[in-house]
Amino acid sequence: MLYFNNDYSEGCHEKILEALVKTNYVQTPGYGEDDFCARAAEKIRAACGREDLGVHFLVGGTQANFTVIAAALRPYQGVLCAASAHINGHETGAVEGTGHKCLALPAHEGKITGKQVRDAVLAHRNDPSFEHMVQPAMVYISQSTELGTLYSRRELEELSGVCRELGLYLFLDGARLGYALAAQSNDLTLSDIARLCDVFYIGGTKVGALFGEAVVIGNPAINRDFRYMIKHQGGMLAKGRLLGLQFDVLMEDGLYLKIAKHADRLADRLRDALEALGVPFLVPGVTNQLFPILPDTVLAALGEKYVFCEQERVDESHRAVRFCTSWATREEAVDELCADLRLLLKQ
Amino acid sequence: MLYFNNDYSEGCHEKILEALVKTNYVQTPGYGEDDFCARAAEKIRAACGREDLGVHFLVGGTQANFTVIAAALRPYQGVLCAASAHINGHETGAVEGTGHKCLALPAHEGKITGKQVRDAVLAHRNDPSFEHMVQPAMVYISQSTELGTLYSRRELEELSGVCRELGLYLFLDGARLGYALAAQSNDLTLSDIARLCDVFYIGGTKVGALFGEAVVIGNPAINRDFRYMIKHQGGMLAKGRLLGLQFDVLMEDGLYLKIAKHADRLADRLRDALEALGVPFLVPGVTNQLFPILPDTVLAALGEKYVFCEQERVDESHRAVRFCTSWATREEAVDELCADLRLLLKQ
Amino acid sequence: MLYFNNDYSEGCHEKILEALVKTNYVQTPGYGEDDFCARAAEKIRAACGREDLGVHFLVGGTQANFTVIAAALRPYQGVLCAASAHINGHETGAVEGTGHKCLALPAHEGKITGKQVRDAVLAHRNDPSFEHMVQPAMVYISQSTELGTLYSRRELEELSGVCRELGLYLFLDGARLGYALAAQSNDLTLSDIARLCDVFYIGGTKVGALFGEAVVIGNPAINRDFRYMIKHQGGMLAKGRLLGLQFDVLMEDGLYLKIAKHADRLADRLRDALEALGVPFLVPGVTNQLFPILPDTVLAALGEKYVFCEQERVDESHRAVRFCTSWATREEAVDELCADLRLLLKQ
Amino acid sequence: MLYFNNDYSEGCHEKILEALVKTNYVQTPGYGEDDFCARAAEKIRAACGREDLGVHFLVGGTQANFTVIAAALRPYQGVLCAASAHINGHETGAVEGTGHKCLALPAHEGKITGKQVRDAVLAHRNDPSFEHMVQPAMVYISQSTELGTLYSRRELEELSGVCRELGLYLFLDGARLGYALAAQSNDLTLSDIARLCDVFYIGGTKVGALFGEAVVIGNPAINRDFRYMIKHQGGMLAKGRLLGLQFDVLMEDGLYLKIAKHADRLADRLRDALEALGVPFLVPGVTNQLFPILPDTVLAALGEKYVFCEQERVDESHRAVRFCTSWATREEAVDELCADLRLLLKQ
């Protein structure tokens, strides 16, 4: 079987493996206080163009999300997000487990707008029962989104402006940030993101690492005692060096972007093939996730050779599915998939 | 000003005051282990026709809601409810504060259906990512609802059937249960409710008591160690006798229903008057809460003499507002309001 | 039976009952936004000699404790307290339920010292694993303590000084504050307490009210959005007026202190009688709680007529027990108890 | 510098590195539903001699601890443990973060006894205020303990017997289980532990893995929906295969025990050397952790070449420190340390 169901089906980029092998017997302090972590953090600060950023390495995305949110909010506060946001639907209530409500807004192609945020916050503030309602205090977005779409620089600036005007934190979940930055239509840099958000993370798990997310904190109020928060939430890795080492490799010589670009270009190739075949999409994906709408019969045939994800039923005979490429996807696999699609769809 | 904005603007029914005065110096054990509580619990069991019910007295509705929900659910489980449910929108995230997500379903006139519950639960169970999603384990409904509507016996039987078939708890928030039971269109008895729900409560705060809700638990799994839960959640009243005493009075000679009926009949009178004037309603209220849609100009004039609640803007010149009657509402006040409405609306 | 087991065996002071009866049909806004609450808050601010204090009324002590603590602390922080503190041993883990650890220090006669606090905080800060340990961020004390003892002004100043020097909040649980202020050996005023603590509360439940504690907050960081916190924690009473009204009465013409003095003088009388009989005490109680050590045989005989609390076994034939007086204790009851003790102990 | 401060200073055993390299491009499902995890779980079940065990792989110890505890307990329940237990003092309140109190018992050499557990539980059950106290519902022990000592089979049987008699869960934290099993004085097998405990884990992080703990659950009540719990608590690793793979290697041909034995024998050698020099110990360590008491002057000299942990000051001129060996410790390093100790202590 060929796996296109997600971007975490393989191990890690070979340079990471090499570094692991090479440094295996180096003795270091534990809990992220080693030189690998320090070096990786420096590279991330440099890439963001800011010396004052807090950088912390966490094992996974759910952990990063709830640790950041619990660090930022007071008990009665909640986080505005798209109804389709990962924290709202696919983390088994981990954020609520820290006591905070996800305040879901209707999403368009996985995204929410500054206007929606402003309206929600003002509706709350103008409600005579405002103290009986969860106080929105943070906005959570994903880049790229759960539907493979992107916030443009203008959209992010609008969100950031509204958040600063109204006193909310802006948090960007970058589990797939590499694939966002490498997209052809992207117009945002790491510096932009560091400037416009209070906190974000650079996802490693889905972009070449064995595991790991680099949380980057520009707002000192969130960074305060953040290592206590990590430990309290169960995310302090004894051999923290493993996280530092991986980001040290990924941030060297633009490797992170390079491997993300590989995935995006292969997704572009697949999208072009599907479009040429007249296949419609659930959303116009521009990164490494595509959501074509295909006939059940075609999907049944494809399912014998390819692994992909069910997204949703569209009509009686069609479903939207998800195809992912990744840093590890082989060109030949994509070409084979394109060829098979052509065969099946021309029948 | 005349208050029609809610059903908790006054103190309590006179018989409760009399009982408070009369028993003031009786010495009792604390924390609800007194004879007043025992007697009130017996009367409630009798009214429900079941000797095996757990009965516990809590000070308020939010407290009752999150204590019951936290007692029933495991950490990764959530509670299905109407989007308009009190726990979802008007308790400042108290349920999430106990770690549980409110799984909001679109409501029709404040209600959800057995079919919606079944669809939501099956959608969860059939999702390949089911372990990444909050597990629905309880259904929360309000009777009467936050919009003054009622579940019929058939509707409650359907919800109860679905819950039992699928292994979910059914929890009925009866903050306004008296006004539900006393409604002309009601076809449910306390026995029905005790039989069809795993747990519910009989609201006192809004129906004649100074404060207090009587939580009635039919399912032993929820009742287990419930007094520990009450204390853990901060709801164990030192002078628990105050709660027992009030329900002892309210459950004597049908007082609870009698005073609820008073409120409902006055609401009926107001509704008839509004209907006669051709006023439309946001929902067809049948209990003590009415949601008429009135012109801004009329509301402005009314606002100089009456206190009522804003509900929502309907169009550029009309808003839906809430008028409540209660056990304490005076007939003359309603008649005065009706007269004023006739004057204002005939202009 | 005559109840000496606690100070919440009766209803409330008659003046409160009278006020309840008199104001029963006054219509007010809900949730503590009424004139009674405003007036009571003003009286409390005046009694503390400070116009800038936040004053909030909560139903009970456990609720007050966890709401204040959860409002003040970040998730990884904990509260230093005596091992014998109410929050540590008698609230069914309600504070831990909000996610915070009680950091128990050995208590001497129910009290902890500034030195203990300083040592604990410095031990934490100097530990190389400090980030792996709960960060002490608040000190909780009770006045009077759970053992009926008192902090002197000097002791409270020392605690306050250490807290301010080290950046910790000082929180004083005043469930029995009246009995503390009325004690013969007391040298603290409400103004002192308001000046030396960041937050404290004036207990009503045990000092003449039906229920209710007045939380007084001098530190704006804790007072921020405190009403959201109250609602989030389930402590927002719909008919908040009931709390305001009671404190309005209690704070009028020194009633609170007067009725507390009544209890303390009766306790003094009982203590004198016990001391005259050569009865030793577990701790030298100076308020309304006494912990005499009595022979099992005497306790058995007393138990047929009086209700008191077991405290702890002292040796094979003696136990320490608790006798409480209260605002409601009758002089004759104390005299009768003294007489019976003389009879039993002279045998 | 030579690191003896802990057992997580290096990467991982070479066979794990080899397996990582070899399997890097194998495509697998995510979240622990891969063949590596299945195979590792099978080997663990076989090693424990039971087919019915739930086996789950988590990244770290704190995460394993709070996930197990939160899965097992209801909100008002707590966990009995030694005051020196890792969960009580070195996890930044992570267990309290899930709402549960650690009920600390005085420890002797890091251990608690069945008698202590029974006394604590009966004291709670016999207390008239039992509902006002956290209900003990689980016992947590560590094997080897935080002080390098061991529970004997008889001691574990006693604890297990008390737990079963009284209806408590028994949970064994095996972060250093390898070093326990490989100790010369150990008389427990994995089968014994699986039989006597409701849940335990086999620690990988400190015994040859990059990271990872294998949670083994014999009690179905704890195993129920445990994967939901893992996700809810933020511990579901996307590339779960990494955990399965490591345990697959460690459980092959007794590798886990073999490398633990290496560490224990080197610790034995160091202990023998210290004892020969007349050095006293804080506790009689029998596994890979030793706590000698050494003069400050000697420690200052050692500190220039060796990294070790401060444990506690013993008197004005002596401190207890911790020396750890591990699977990665080189014989020559231990010999060098022994030689240096001889030199320094004979001066």
Name every chain A residue with its beta carbon within 8 A of the beta carbon of D12: 24
User: How far apart (Å, rounded) are the C-alpha atoms in residues B204 and B207?
Assistant: 5
Tokens of A176: 């797939």
The minimal CB distance from C134 to the residues D93, D128, D132 is found for D93
C81: phi then psi, degrees, rounded to nearest 5: -160, 165
Average pLDDT, chain B: 97
The minimal CB distance from A76 to the residues C75, C132, C225 is found for C225
DSSP secondary structure string, D270-337? HHHHHHHTT--BSS---SSEE-BEEEHHHHHHHTTTEE-EEEEEEETTEEEEEEE--TT--HHHHHHH
Report the residue of chain C nearest D98, measured CA to CA. Answer: C99
Report the residue of chain B nearest A135, measured CA to CA. Answer: B92
A280 touches chain D (CB under 8 A): no
pLDDT above 90: residue D140: yes
Going from N- to C-terminal start, the domains of chain C cover 2-6+256-346, 14-254
H-helix or E-strand spanning residue B194: helix B190-196
pLDDT reported for residue B270: 97
Residue D140, helix vs strand vs coil: strand
Peptide bond connecting B144 to the previous residue in cis, omega within 30 degrees of 0: yes
Confidence of residue C346 (pLDDT cuts 50, 70, 90): confident
Question: SS3 for D223-287, per residue?
Answer: HCCHHHHHHHCCCCCCCCHHHHHHHHHHCHHHHHHHHHHHHHHHHHHHHHHHHHCCCCECCCCCC
Question: SS3 for D143-209, per residue?
Answer: CCCCCCCCCCHHHHHHHHHHHHHHCCEEEEECCCHHHHHCCCCCCCCHHHHHHHCCEEEEECCCCCC
User: What does the pLDDT look like over B13-67, one tens digit per residue?
Assistant: 999 999 999 999 999 999 999 999 999 999 999 999 999 999 999 999 999 999 9
User: What does the pLDDT look like over B294-304, one tens digit per residue?
Assistant: 999 999 999 99
User: What does the pLDDT look like over D211-226, one tens digit per residue?
Assistant: 999 999 999 999 999 9
- Predicted complex: ipTM over 0.95: yes
pLDDT reported for residue B346: 83
DSSP secondary structure string, D102-115? EEEE--BTTB--HH
Topology of domain B2-6+258-346 in CATH is Aspartate Aminotransferase, domain 1 (3.90.1150)
Do residue B135 and residue D225 have CB atoms under 8 angstroms apart? yes
B254 touches chain C (CB under 8 A): no
pLDDT above 70: residue A347: no
User: What does the pLDDT look like over A312-327, one tens digit per residue?
Assistant: 999 999 999 999 999 9
Residues sharing a CB contact under 8 Å with residue C225, sequence separation 6 or more, in sequence order: A74, A76, A135
Tell which B residues from 42 to 71 touch D, by Cβ distance under 8 Å.
70-71
C171: phi then psi, degrees, rounded to nearest 5: -120, 125
Do residue B235 and residue C206 have CB atoms under 8 angstroms apart? no
Residue C310, helix vs strand vs coil: strand
User: How far apart (Å, rounded) are the C-alpha atoms in residues C297 and C204?
Assistant: 36
D330 touches chain A (CB under 8 A): no
User: What does the pLDDT look like over A14-26, one tens digit per residue?
Assistant: 999 999 999 999 9
Tell which A residues from 121 to 140 touch D, by Cβ distance under 8 Å.
none
Rg for chain C (alpha carbons), in Å? Answer: 21
**Cβ–Cβ < 8 Å for B65, B92:** no
How far lies D276's CA from each of D270, D295, D317, D345, in Å?
Answer: 10, 16, 21, 11
User: How far apart (Å, rounded) are the C-alpha atoms in residues B314 and B340?
Assistant: 22
The structure tokens 């994509």 sit at A334
User: How far apart (Å, rounded) are the C-alpha atoms in residues C118 and C116?
Assistant: 5
Cβ neighbourhood burial of C342 (10 Å; 0-12, 13-18, 19+): middle
- Other beta carbons less than 10 A from residue C108's beta carbon: 14
C183 touches chain A (CB under 8 A): no
**Strands in chain C per DSSP E:** 2-3, 54-58, 77-82, 102-105, 135-142, 169-173, 199-203, 213-217, 289-290, 293-295, 306-307, 309-315, 318-324
Average pLDDT, chain D: 97
Do residue D234 and residue A239 have CB atoms under 8 angstroms apart? no
User: What does the pLDDT look like over A149-159, one tens digit per residue?
Assistant: 999 999 999 99
Confidence of residue D347 (pLDDT cuts 50, 70, 90): low
Report the residue of chain D nearest B69, measured CA to CA. Answer: D75
User: What does the pLDDT look like over C142-191, one tens digit per residue?
Assistant: 999 999 999 999 999 999 999 999 999 999 999 999 999 999 999 999 99
- Smallest CA–CA separation between C123 and chain B, in Å? 31
Tokens of C60: 């009970």
- Smallest CA–CA separation between B73 and chain A, in Å? 12
Interface partners of chain C (CB pairs < 8 Å, 3 or more) are A, B, D
pLDDT above 80: residue A183: yes
Cβ neighbourhood burial of A182 (10 Å; 0-12, 13-18, 19+): buried
- Other beta carbons less than 10 A from residue D6's beta carbon: 20
B98 touches chain D (CB under 8 A): yes
Question: Nearest Cα to B169, choosing from B104, B226, B223?
Answer: B223
pLDDT reported for residue A273: 96
- Smallest CA–CA separation between C91 and chain B, in Å? 6
How far lies C94's CA from each of B228, C99, D78, in Å?
Answer: 10, 9, 11
User: How far apart (Å, rounded) are the C-alpha atoms in residues B312 and B298?
Assistant: 15
Do residue B134 and residue A93 have CB atoms under 8 angstroms apart? yes
Total residues found in chain B within this entry = 347
The minimal CB distance from C10 to the residues B27, B210, B232 is found for B27
Do residue C132 and residue A231 have CB atoms under 8 angstroms apart? yes
Question: Nearest Cα to A247, choosing from A34, A83, A70?
Answer: A34
User: How far apart (Å, rounded) are the C-alpha atoms in residues C171 and C159?
Assistant: 11
User: How far apart (Å, rounded) are the C-alpha atoms in residues C97 and C65?
Assistant: 12
pLDDT above 90: residue A290: yes
pLDDT above 70: residue A73: yes
pLDDT reported for residue B126: 95
pLDDT reported for residue C347: 62
pLDDT above 90: residue A80: yes
How far lies C201's CA from each of B232, B336, C61, C155, D146, in Å?
Answer: 20, 44, 9, 19, 41
User: How far apart (Å, rounded) are the C-alpha atoms in residues D125 and D136?
Assistant: 9
- Other beta carbons less than 10 A from residue A256's beta carbon: 30
The minimal CB distance from D310 to the residues C78, C128, C310 is found for C128
- Smallest CA–CA separation between D130 and chain C, in Å? 9
Residue B12, helix vs strand vs coil: coil
Total residues found in chain A within this entry = 347
pLDDT reported for residue B58: 98
- Smallest CA–CA separation between B334 and chain D, in Å? 47
Residue C48, helix vs strand vs coil: helix
Residue C304, helix vs strand vs coil: coil
Tokens of B3: 């208050």
pLDDT above 80: residue D190: yes
B237 touches chain C (CB under 8 A): yes
Which CATH number is A2-6+256-346's, of 3.40.50.300, 3.60.20.30, 3.90.1150.10, 3.40.50.11890?
Answer: 3.90.1150.10
Do residue B133 and residue A102 have CB atoms under 8 angstroms apart? no
For an interface test with C, which of D92, D98, D127, D132 has the most C Cβ atoms less than 10 Å from its Cβ? D92
Torsion of CA A262, A263, A265, A270, to 10 degrees: 140
DSSP secondary structure string, B232-285? HTT---TTTHHHHHHHHHHTGGGHHHHHHHHHHHHHHHHHHHHHHTT--BSS--
Report the residue of chain A nearest C224, measured CA to CA. Answer: A74
b/e D76-86 (16+ beta carbons within 10 angstroms → b): bbbbbbbebbb
**Cβ–Cβ < 8 Å for B93, A101:** yes
Name every chain D residue with its beta carbon within 8 A of the beta carbon of B70: 75
User: How far apart (Å, rounded) are the C-alpha atoms in residues A113 and A120?
Assistant: 11
Rg for chain D (alpha carbons), in Å? Answer: 21
pLDDT above 90: residue D346: no
User: What does the pLDDT look like over C22-66, one tens digit per residue?
Assistant: 999 999 999 999 999 999 999 999 999 999 999 999 999 999 999
> Looking at residues D295-308, what average pLDDT do you find?
96
Residue A98, helix vs strand vs coil: coil
The hierarchical CATH code for the domain A14-254 is 3.40.640.10
The minimal CB distance from A237 to the residues D12, D23, D60 is found for D60
The structure's pTM equals 0.97
Which CATH number is B14-255's, of 3.40.640.10, 3.30.1540.10, 3.10.20.30, 3.40.50.1240?
Answer: 3.40.640.10
User: How far apart (Å, rounded) are the C-alpha atoms in residues B287 and B271?
Assistant: 10
H-helix or E-strand spanning residue B3: strand B2-3
D227: phi then psi, degrees, rounded to nearest 5: -65, -35
Do residue C132 and residue D90 have CB atoms under 8 angstroms apart? yes
Are the folds of C2-6+256-346 and C14-254 the same?
A: no
pLDDT reported for residue B171: 98
Residues sharing a CB contact under 8 Å with residue B126, sequence separation 6 or more, in sequence order: none
How far lies C57's CA from each of C20, C205, C223, in Å?
Answer: 17, 12, 13
Do residue B8 and residue C239 have CB atoms under 8 angstroms apart? yes
Tokens of B47: 């009214």
pLDDT above 80: residue B347: no
pLDDT reported for residue A4: 96
DSSP label of B110: T
User: What does the pLDDT look like over D32-43, one tens digit per residue?
Assistant: 999 999 999 999
Do residue C99 and residue D93 have CB atoms under 8 angstroms apart? yes
Average pLDDT, chain C: 97
User: What does the pLDDT look like over B76-86, one tens digit per residue?
Assistant: 999 999 999 99
The alpha-helical segments, DSSP class H, found in C51-200 are: 61-72, 86-89, 94-97, 114-126, 153-166, 177-181, 190-196
DSSP label of B134: P
User: How far apart (Å, rounded) are the C-alpha atoms in residues A5 and A325?
Assistant: 8
Chains A & D: contacts with CB separation below 8 Å: 140
The minimal CB distance from A133 to the residues B76, B92, B133 is found for B92
- Smallest CA–CA separation between D304 and chain A, in Å? 16
